[in-house]
Amino acid sequence: MLKHLTIKNYALITNLETSFQAGFSVLTGETGAGKSIILGALSLILGQRADQQAVKDSSKKCVIEGVFETNTNDLESFFEKHNLDFDSETTILRREILPNGKSRAFINDTPVSLNNLKTLAQKLVDINSQNSTILLQDTGFQMDVLDSFCRNKEILRAYQNNYRQFRILENDLEKLRESENQARSEQDFFKYQLEEIRKANLKPGEQKEIEEKLEILTHAEDIKNRLFNSSNLVEGDNGLNHIFNSILSELKPISNFSNELLQLFERLESNYLDVSDIANELNKKYEQTDINPEQISLLNDRLNLIFHLQHKHRVSNVDELLKIESNYLQKINEFSSLNKKIKATEKKLAALFEILKTSATLISKNRKSAKPILEQKILETISKLGMPNAKINIEIKKLVDLTESGYDNVVFLFNANKGGYLKEMSKIASGGELSRLMLSIKSQVAAKNLISTIIFDEIDSGISGEIAGKMAGIMQKMSNKIQIISITHLPQIAARGRYHYLVQKESGTSTTSISIKQLSHDEKIIEIAKMLSDSKISNSALQTATELLNN
């Protein structure tokens, strides 16, 4: 429940603080006194968007802080999920609007996102205003009412988490299938290209090797002639070997006369051996060198094939062609992998769909079981509020496909008058009827919600006399289980409040400010008497006010 509210530098409020208690509290004040401003400030810590124009002094920050008693709420899981400090007794929500227009939100002094603040606030406070009767006409709200009454919230929350995951998987599957279709259309192309390169049976470095072989084969005749001539120059009658032998024969007899002569002889002998070895290599190379036009043709064909593939794939060597071959193979394998991913995703979807069907069936069963009970209880309450001939039917239609709410479409059909036809509330109910209907519904679902505070903002608009007193009685009964705060202009409702707060606008010499005060018993009598009087408080108004309070 809301224990304490602090508002600083907001609209006409410089500094306002007030405490609230459990049970039934009422806020009264003249039209324009500032009740809506206080509620607007409270809405900021409940996650509403901030407006820089609402800041009273733009050079200072605006601060709204609410202290809530949380020992009746199951909130620990929220704090754990968002890594926030949890106090089992008290939670503080704070909102700040800085001079630069930026807004900050805090839970127990820890900065949080506005969305997280709003999520937590929705578990603490439910504000019902005149606009809420418009919400009552919304089918989504009507389904929420039924789900709250039959305590579907937890199973529905788990269902909706699974449903969102199901939709994500469906989207993933669609993308995988699109990729598969695109890949399938490219597979023949990839396979053809891969087969063409594979058929070439390319080897790393073979292009250079072929080019070198062709160079030799193309000039084979010239190479052979020159090898033959070179060999003759070494081994012929007047060749190098003959000359070396003659020199060695001349030097050998004198080689032992000195070391210098011996070294010269050995050097010449070593060169002679090298030349002889070269001659043997020349002869070998001569024998190995063939003039082979067929081999030239084969190598040219191979080289042309390589050049063709290089030109086709816009590369400059065999190594790059081999990389392309590997890429085509990878794409073909990816297609196979896509198929496996699709089957795995389909399997997950099928399993999740079965879980969803089971949950949706249970949710639907709970709704159908609760429907007649909720209808009866709403009718009993609304009958007390001056509509004894009202009829209501909660229509539950089964849908073909699963939705975020399960298998059902829920519509509240209503008629306030005897003999009338049941129609959707948006087409038949008046403002006053909707106000009474909203209170009747809230009285049934309030105790079943985890929310511990409900604020009624002039929900009694268009109501008066006996009906107003009965509305007050319903709120009073609701306050036995949860905190009820009602902003009202009706004395019948104000008199039922256990705690009465007066909101006033005070004008100074240069500024106007808003104050809130909890009234004593005697002050309550005077305030209710004012609400009963046109201008001056009469004795009869005071007497009536006293009677209302005593009753």
Domains and CATH numbers, the chain: 1-130+451-519 (3.40.50.300), 206-316 (no CATH)
**Of 466, 373, 440, 382, which Cα lies nearest the Cα of 416?**
382
pLDDT at 349: 94
List, in sequence order, every residue forming a beta bridge with 10; answer none if it has no partner: 13, 55
Highest mean pLDDT (candidates 98-102, 167-171, 237-241, 328-332): 167-171
pLDDT grade for 350, boundaries at 50, 70 and 90: very high
Residues 6+ apart with CB under 8 A from 300: 214
CA 518 to chain centre: 45
> Cβ(192)–Cβ(199) under 8 Å?
no
> Cβ(137)–Cβ(131) under 8 Å?
no
Residue 108 burial by Cβ neighbours in a 10 Å radius (0-12, 13-18, 19+): middle
**Of 72, 137, 131, which Cα lies nearest the Cα of 428?**
137
pTM equals: 0.64
Q: In the predicted model, what is the mean pLDDT of residues 412-432?
A: 78
Helix, strand, coil % over all residues of the chain, rounded to 5: 60, 20, 25
pLDDT grade for 437, boundaries at 50, 70 and 90: confident
What percent of the chain lies above the pLDDT cut of 90? 30
Give yes or no for residue 450 having a pLDDT over 60. no
pLDDT grade for 255, boundaries at 50, 70 and 90: confident
pLDDT at 86: 85
> What are the structure tokens assigned to 474, written together?
């319903």
Give strand ranges (E) for 426-494.
453-457, 483-487
> What are the structure tokens assigned to 142, written together?
């009507």
pLDDT at 111: 93
> What are the structure tokens assigned to 32, written together?
């324009």
Cα(519)–Cα(270) distance, rounded to whole angstroms? 128
> What are the structure tokens assigned to 550, written together?
């005593």
Mind giving me the DSSP string for 327-394?
HHHHHHHHHHHHHHHHHHHHHHHHHHHHHHHHHHHHHHHHHHHHHHHHHHHHHHHHHHTT-TT-EEEE
Give yes or no for residue 421 having a pLDDT over 70. yes
Cα(272)–Cα(267) distance, rounded to whole angstroms? 9
Give yes or no for residue 77 having a pLDDT over 60. yes
What is the dihedral sign for C-alpha 340, 345, 346, 348?
Answer: positive
Cα(413)–Cα(418) distance, rounded to whole angstroms? 14
pLDDT at 333: 72
Cα(120)–Cα(133) distance, rounded to whole angstroms? 24
Give yes or no for residue 208 having a pLDDT over 70. yes
> Cβ(518)–Cβ(494) under 8 Å?
no
Q: In the predicted model, what is the mean pLDDT of residues 295-324?
A: 88
pLDDT tens digits, residue range 464-506? 778 888 888 999 998 988 899 999 989 999 999 999 999 998 8
Q: In the predicted model, what is the mean pLDDT of residues 164-179?
A: 90
Q: In the predicted model, what is the mean pLDDT of residues 248-253?
A: 88
> Cβ(24)–Cβ(479) under 8 Å?
yes
